[in-house]
Amino acid sequence: MDRKAIKELMVSGLMERAGEPLPTSRLGRIGRIGATALRSGLMIARARKGAAGRDEPGVDMEKVAKVVSSMGELKGVMMKMGQIMSYIDVAMPAELRDALSVLQTHAQPMEWGTVRDLVAEELGERGERLLEGMEHRPISSASIGQVHRATLPDGSVAAVKIQYPEIARAIAADFGPAAVGTKMAAVFFPHARIDDFVAEARERFLEECDYLHEAHCQDRFVEIYGDHPILAVPEVHREYCSRRVLCTAFLDGLDLDAFLATDPPQEERDRMGEALFEFYIGALFRHGIYNCDPHPGNYLFLDGGRVGMLDHGCTRQFEPRFVARLANLTRAVHLDERDAVHRALLDLKIVREGKRYDYDTIRGFLRGFYGPMLVDDRTAVDTSSAMDVREVMDKKLKLAKFSLPGEFLFLFRIRFGLMSVLSRLGARANWYRLERRYVQDFANAHPILSR
């Protein structure tokens, strides 16, 4: 099946169960999550073996549609797992990635009556004014809420995100004992100390359920990138925001697949790739802020060569001291100097003073983590670096002896998610020098911390 047919099949499966109530109790979700996780795990394993020529049958798209539908109905962390696997797992066959990528913008939507009641409850009279100009059909449905286009009383066009009822309760249940939160962390670091990762993921995902927090983060990105020639962050309409309703300016553009279908010139791809790199890596070192959700559904490619940056709920603010430790680690890995790497690992408490460890193990992991940023040349991104690190973690190296900070869960997600997007975009740059420039910008702004 081609990409268009796969996506149509997946969306059709999701819409068949539109309006189904969201399961929210821990007991009610554990069984459903366990069954979905088992089916998806077997499906992915068989697909990988088939792609490797191990006499496995091809991907059964009807079964895949059932798994995708179940993920979309569960929403929350299970749906996020499907999204992440769709752009990080480069060993997965393309047709399976295409199927899971539908979860980046589609889930079973709420019915209009539920949307209407929730907006009125959250905003009162302001909600009534907002509802008068709101389209009934959502333009996208994600893991925590769905988005409707609306015309505000002043005539401006807005995107209104409405949170699914009880989604915060569902996510809290997902991080209960034996729930999916632990499995999600294990996808990234199967041998590391999981408790810190689960705590980090739980805090970030529950924080996403507070749209006032997202509005604050989005305002910050507007402040940083308001005059940027390529990056466009939509402004927030605070009058129509609450904990469960977020109203922002509407951006009209193409998704990544549609943009690539226009066969954009290489120069435009390069400009956009460098801008995306600046948004994620540059913002971390220059401003200590980190959008943790780089999946392709969060971009719109606008007229005039600009990129609209959507969805800022999963945003992490780091203290300068932690950023300084990351900057030191980045410099050390770039230089590939053992003593410098060792000091940076000690500072991050990944290893302990006086305790022996396998340096080759951690060096291999770090070089996989930084991947294309270690090549001092203008290059396209080769996602085999992401595959290498999965192989390192899954088959060859044992990371149990290393105490990786919980913050690395989302640092990992950004590194490999961003690299996947840049690879698909076909962008070329000297990523090594770009990152070194951002690290130096941090050092210039924090000379004491950077000694």
- Every domain of the chain and the residues it spans: 3-104, 108-141+144-174+208-250, 253-451
Residue 210 has pLDDT above 90, yes or no: yes
What is the spatial distance between Cα 300 and Cα 252, in angstroms, rounded to a whole number? 7
Of the chain, the percentage scoring pLDDT greater than 70 comes to 79
CATH domain 108-141+144-174+208-250 topology: Phosphorylase Kinase; domain 1 (3.30.200)
Give the single-character DSSP code of 395: I
What is the spatial distance between Cα 137 and Cα 116, in angstroms, rounded to a whole number? 12
pLDDT averaged over every residue in the chain = 83
What is the spatial distance between Cα 41 and Cα 36, in angstroms, rounded to a whole number? 8
Residue of higher predicted confidence among 284 and 90: 284
pLDDT at 106: 72
What confidence tier does 53 reach under pLDDT thresholds 50, 70, 90? low
| Lowest-confidence region among 136-145, 271-280, 333-342 | 136-145
Counting Cβ atoms within 10 Å, is residue 261 exposed (0-12), middle (13-18) or buried (19+)? exposed
Average pLDDT over every residue of 90-102? 72
- Output the six-digit token pair for 31: 């069984």
Residue 394 has pLDDT above 90, yes or no: no
What confidence tier does 19 reach under pLDDT thresholds 50, 70, 90? low
pLDDT at 190: 46
- Output the six-digit token pair for 359: 């340096």
Counting Cβ atoms within 10 Å, is residue 56 exposed (0-12), middle (13-18) or buried (19+)? middle
pLDDT at 105: 72
| 297-347 confidence digits (pLDDT tens) | 889 999 999 999 999 998 989 999 999 999 999 999 999 999 999 999 999
pLDDT at 356: 86
Scanning 102-193, the segments in alpha helix (DSSP H) are 112-123, 125-132, 167-174, 180-188
Of 191, 192, 196, nearest to 181 (Cα)?
196
How would you classify the pairing of strands 231-232 and 428-429? unpaired
What confidence tier does 293 reach under pLDDT thresholds 50, 70, 90? confident
Buried b (16+ CB within 10 A) or exposed e, 230-254: bbbbbebbeebbbebbbbbbbbebb
What is the spatial distance between Cα 292 and Cα 2, in angstroms, rounded to a whole number? 31
Residue 55 has pLDDT above 60, yes or no: no
pLDDT at 70: 77
| Lowest-confidence region among 130-134, 150-154, 286-290, 381-385 | 381-385
Q: What is the pTM of this model?
A: 0.82
- Residue 252: in which H helix or E strand, if any? none
Residue 122 has pLDDT above 50, yes or no: yes
